């Protein structure tokens, strides 16, 4: 009876405990100059196959015409450069009209005219971007292309551009190009403690900790005091703890922390929080579930973001799979991986056997519920996806192999209500396993939107095939910041070859150095779990996929995967138990580095994401001693208490210091 009451309470308040609603977006003015081409080419860098024309505009007389008569000819996009604060979320759109657009693409409906945005670092290299769905082919009247993007922390500029996709012929027109920054709400809050699902232990210190951000700069540097009130109530609606805090008018970020004077006993509670400012325009409230237990759930995330399963700290290190037969599970386990995630399970009648087989091979299972949404690609007829999800969860939630539920696979914020509903349902049906989300955002602001409807947030860079591998650090670093170090923070790295997905790509599977480098970059940026996408793509060489498994292709790639996994696995105790040690950087050529202290020894985790030799210099304490100046592909030299590490192209690894 007590359990049922708690679930009802949770359903009631969960809708109020999510991050500020996307319906509350406050978009600024259009940042583009000459967005409708009324001033001709002014402020635009015009491509060779584009020109401003009169008499065709959407809302005016002018538009940009882009024409291509040769499918083999490639032209750059027509773009405009902007300087936007890193971390800002921007929304962009344009109107486009097409005439006789044609393509030889395998999926012509996904081809056509394009609108896209790219971010650049101080060296002019692309470090991220967003590429929305293309217009489609044929002849069509004005339609809108749109997307959103969070500017990466390292970005110094962004460029928005319009073009015909390579290989598309015909003519199109663009007009009313718009870029707007989303202003965050004045007051934002992130509950840091209890750090996991509002859970406290009955026999441990009980504390409330709330991170509050006041975005004054977005509101003409509004100077007003913020009053915050906390009221913790039990199931009888009796107040058991209260606290008030006044945040001065000159403070933009703070953490409100207070211990509970009266230790709470096992049971269910509600924390009501009110945030008020003098004009009352920006006031809002939030309600959190607080649950006091005698012991932690079977699987949970600890305060450092580590995954705890049955009381033991683990580092999930695994692969996405498509073939969960004995042969493949055995091979994956022997390679040193401990976790698997399959899209086929999922919606599959043999899902219970799948978990049993995984357990036999010592593999943890992240079970996919990513398609159990109304409106998703999964065809269920008249079956309610939520009801089916409940059935799956209840049938396998006690399986020993189960590690987590996979609830979100790159779903945009427009899915947020459905994401929240599924997360709430999963929590109610199974309080013993966390929920994992995966996103492709380059900036932390977009990831923060999912703070209250997931337990583990991962990002998936897939950088192999670019000019360098630095996108790994960009995205994984964004995930670390977005979780505020209270959620699980993982990375989904690239094992597959882009040629399997894109016809124009030549086969280029990640090398041993590229696989390894991604891992160490992820560790530098705080990842507490790593998954590789994907094992089943290793059996394919190019697009389109074949129904049969190409073992010749697989056997060319798998030995490098095993070497990478074997090397990385030996350091997992270091990554789990090592304590961050601050470094004093003297000079750095964009090498990724962090220092961990473990059992009295210091370890430098290093990754050079560039296809050229680079170095980094750090000041070291006198007590540090180097017994080996060359370790793996990292070479050191010491002069005047400064150690300089020279790292080969894509060099990475763990450099040991006594």
| Domain CATH for 242 | 2.60.40.2550
The answer to whether the CB of 602 falls within 8 A of the CB of 624 is yes
* pLDDT tens track for 278-322: 888 899 999 999 999 999 999 999 999 999 999 999 999 999 998
* pLDDT tens track for 449-473: 999 999 999 999 999 999 999 999 9
Q: Which one has a higher pLDDT value, 379 or 161?
A: 161
Please say if the pLDDT value at position 11 is more than 70: no
The two three-digit tokens of residue 413, written as one number: 């914020």
Mark whether 179 and 191 lie in a shared domain: no
Kindly state the helix (H) or strand (E) to which residue 359 belongs, with its residue range.
helix 351-360
Domain housing 228: 185-293
What percent of the chain is modeled with pLDDT above 90? Answer: 78
Please say if the pLDDT value at position 13 is more than 50: no
Q: Maximum distance among all alpha carbons in the chain?
A: 76
Contacts of 387 (CB under 8 A, 6+ apart): none
* Distance between CA atoms of residues 126 and 446, nearest Å: 19
> Which pairs with CB-CB distance under 8 Å and at least 24 residues apart come from 122-126?
122/154, 122/156, 125/467, 125/468, 125/470, 126/466, 126/467
Residue at 13 is within a domain: no
* Distance between CA atoms of residues 349 and 130, nearest Å: 37
Q: Work out the average pLDDT over 174-181.
A: 96
Model confidence at 240, in pLDDT bands (50, 70, 90)? Answer: very high
Please name which of 100, 37, 27, 31 lies closest in space to residue 67, comparing C-alpha atoms.
Answer: 100
Mark whether 102 and 122 lie in a shared domain: yes
Residue 77 DSSP label: P
Q: Work out the average pLDDT over 113-129.
A: 89
Residue at 434 is within a domain: yes
Please say if the pLDDT value at position 347 is more than 90: no
Count how many domains the chain has. 4
Residue at 591 is within a domain: yes
Of 14-18, 103-107, 344-348, 626-630, which range is least confident?
14-18
* Distance between CA atoms of residues 512 and 515, nearest Å: 5
Mark whether 518 and 615 lie in a shared domain: no
Mark whether 393 and 449 lie in a shared domain: yes
The pTM of the full predicted model, rounded to 2 decimals, is: 0.85
Q: Work out the average pLDDT over 530-549.
A: 94
Please say if the pLDDT value at position 22 is more than 90: no
Mark whether 567 and 621 lie in a shared domain: no
Residue 314 is part of a domain; what is its CATH number? 3.20.20.80
Whole-number mean pLDDT of the chain?
92
Mark whether 320 and 262 lie in a shared domain: no
Confidence (pLDDT) at 21: 38
At 513, is the secondary structure helix, strand, or coil?
helix
Residue 279 DSSP label: T
Mark whether 361 and 476 lie in a shared domain: yes
Q: Which one has a higher pLDDT value, 2 or 422?
A: 422
Q: Beta partners for 98? A: 140, 172
Contacts of 283 (CB under 8 A, 6+ apart): 274, 275, 276, 277
CA-to-CA dists, residue 266 to 194, 209, 241, angstroms: 15, 20, 15
* pLDDT tens track for 621-644: 888 888 889 998 999 999 989 999
Domain boundary among 267, 293, 319: 293
Residue 644 is part of a domain; what is its CATH number? 2.60.40
Please say if the pLDDT value at position 607 is more than 50: yes
* pLDDT tens track for 196-225: 999 999 999 999 999 999 998 888 878 889
Terminal Cα distance for the chain, rounded: 58
* pLDDT tens track for 83-101: 998 888 899 999 999 999 9
Please say if the pLDDT value at position 63 is more than 60: yes
* Distance between CA atoms of residues 527 and 530, nearest Å: 7
Strands 592-598 and 317-321: unpaired
Q: Work out the average pLDDT over 242-268.
A: 96
Mark whether 44 and 88 lie in a shared domain: yes
Residue at 6 is within a domain: no
Confidence (pLDDT) at 412: 84
CA-to-CA dists, residue 212 to 41, 186, 227, 496, angstroms: 45, 10, 11, 40
Give the length of the chain. 658
| Helices 416-429 and 2-14, packing angle to 10 deg | 170
Please say if the pLDDT value at position 16 is more than 80: no
* Distance between CA atoms of residues 197 and 300, nearest Å: 9
Please say if the pLDDT value at position 33 is more than 80: yes
Residue 349 DSSP label: T
Model confidence at 108, in pLDDT bands (50, 70, 90)? Answer: low
Mark whether 418 and 531 lie in a shared domain: yes
Residue 54 is part of a domain; what is its CATH number? 2.60.120.260
Q: Which one has a higher pLDDT value, 425 or 347?
A: 425
* Distance between CA atoms of residues 353 and 640, nearest Å: 62
Kindly state the helix (H) or strand (E) to which residue 555 belongs, with its residue range.
helix 551-569
Mark whether 488 and 636 lie in a shared domain: no
Rg (alpha carbons) of the chain, rounded to whole number? 26
Residue at 16 is within a domain: no
Confidence (pLDDT) at 168: 94
Residue at 313 is within a domain: yes
* pLDDT tens track for 460-518: 999 999 999 999 999 999 999 999 999 999 999 999 999 999 888 899 999 999 999 99
Domain boundary among 259, 293, 327: 293
Cite the DSSP H helix spans in 502-606.
512-524, 551-569, 572-577
Mark whether 328 and 312 lie in a shared domain: yes
Residue at 20 is within a domain: no
Mark whether 63 and 89 lie in a shared domain: yes
* pLDDT tens track for 364-402: 999 999 999 988 877 777 889 999 999 999 999 999 999
Domain boundary among 150, 183, 216: 183
Residue at 8 is within a domain: no
């Amino acid at each position: 009876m007590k359990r049922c009451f708690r679930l009802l309470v949770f359903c009631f308040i969960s809708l109020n405990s999510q991050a500020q609603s996307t319906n509350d977006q406050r978009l600024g003015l259009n940042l583009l100059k000459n967005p409708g081409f009324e001033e001709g080419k002014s402020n635009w860098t015009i491509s060779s196959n584009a020109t401003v024309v009169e008499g065709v505009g959407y809302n005016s007389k002018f538009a940009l015409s882009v024409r291509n008569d040769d499918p083999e000819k490639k032209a750059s996009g027509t773009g405009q450069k902007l300087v936007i604060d890193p971390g800002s979320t921007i929304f962009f759109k344009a109107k486009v009209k097409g005439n006789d657009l044609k393509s030889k693409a395998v999926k012509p409906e996904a081809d056509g005219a394009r609108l896209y945005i790219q971010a650049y670092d101080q060296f002019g290299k692309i470090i991220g971007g967003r590429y929305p769905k293309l217009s489609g082919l044929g002849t069509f009247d004005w339609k809108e292309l749109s997307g959103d993007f969070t500017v990466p922390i390292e970005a110094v500029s962004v460029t928005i551009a319009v073009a015909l996709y390579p290989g598309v012929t015909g003519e199109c027109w663009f007009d009313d190009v718009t870029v707007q920054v989303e202003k965050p709400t004045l007051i934002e809050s992130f509950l840091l403690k209890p750090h996991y699902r509002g859970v406290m232990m009955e026999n441990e210190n009980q504390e409330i900790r709330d991170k509050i951000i006041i975005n004054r700069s977005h509101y003409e540097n509004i100077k007003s005091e913020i009053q915050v009130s906390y009221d913790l109530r039990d199931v009888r609606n009796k107040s058991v703890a209260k606290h008030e805090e006044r945040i001065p008018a000159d403070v933009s970020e703070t953490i409100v922390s207070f211990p509970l004077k009266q230790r709470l006993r096992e049971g269910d509670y509600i924390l009501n929080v009110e945030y008020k400012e003098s004009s009352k325009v920006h006031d809002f409230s939030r309600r959190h579930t607080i649950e006091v237990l005698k012991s932690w759930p079977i699987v949970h995330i600890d305060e450092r973001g580590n995954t705890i399963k049955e009381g033991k700290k683990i580092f999930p290190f695994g692969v996405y799979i498509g073939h969960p037969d004995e042969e493949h599970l055995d091979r994956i386990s022997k390679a040193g991986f401990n976790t698997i995630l399959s899209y086929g399970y999922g919606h599959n009648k043999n899902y219970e056997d799948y978990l049993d087989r995984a357990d036999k091979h010592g593999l943890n299972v992240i079970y996919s519920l990513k398609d159990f949404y109304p409106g998703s690609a999964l065809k269920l007829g008249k079956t309610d996806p939520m009801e089916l999800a409940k059935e799956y969860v209840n049938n396998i939630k006690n399986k020993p192999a189960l590690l987590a539920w996979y609830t979100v696979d790159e779903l945009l914020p427009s899915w947020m209500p459905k994401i929240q509903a599924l997360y709430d349902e999963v929590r109610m049906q199974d309080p013993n396993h966390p929920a994992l989300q995966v996103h492709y955002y380059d900036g932390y602001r977009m990831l923060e939107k999912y703070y209250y409807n997931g337990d583990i947030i991962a990002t998936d860079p897939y950088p192999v095939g670019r000019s360098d591998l630095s996108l790994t650090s960009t995205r994984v670093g964004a995930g670390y910041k977005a979780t505020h170090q209270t959620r699980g923070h993982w990375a989904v790295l690239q094992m597959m070859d882009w040629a399997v997905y894109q016809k124009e790509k030549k086969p280029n599977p990640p090398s041993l150095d590229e696989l390894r480098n991604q891992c160490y970059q992820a560790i530098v940026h705080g990842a507490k779990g790593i998954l590789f996408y994907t094992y089943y793509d290793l059996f394919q060489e190019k697009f389109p996929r074949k129904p049969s498994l190409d073992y010749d292709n697989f056997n060319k790639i798998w030995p490098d995967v095993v070497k990478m996994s074997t090397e990385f696995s030996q350091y997992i105790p270091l990554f789990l138990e090592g304590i961050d040690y601050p470094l004093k950087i003297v000079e750095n050529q964009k090498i990724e580095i962090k220092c961990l202290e473990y059992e009295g020894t210091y370890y430098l985790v290093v990754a050079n994401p560039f296809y050229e030799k680079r170095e980094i210099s750090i000041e070291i304490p006198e007590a540090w001693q180097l017994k080996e100046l060359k370790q793996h592909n990292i070479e050191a030299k010491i002069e005047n208490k400064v150690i300089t590490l020279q790292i080969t192209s894509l060099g990475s690894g763990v450099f040991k210091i006594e």
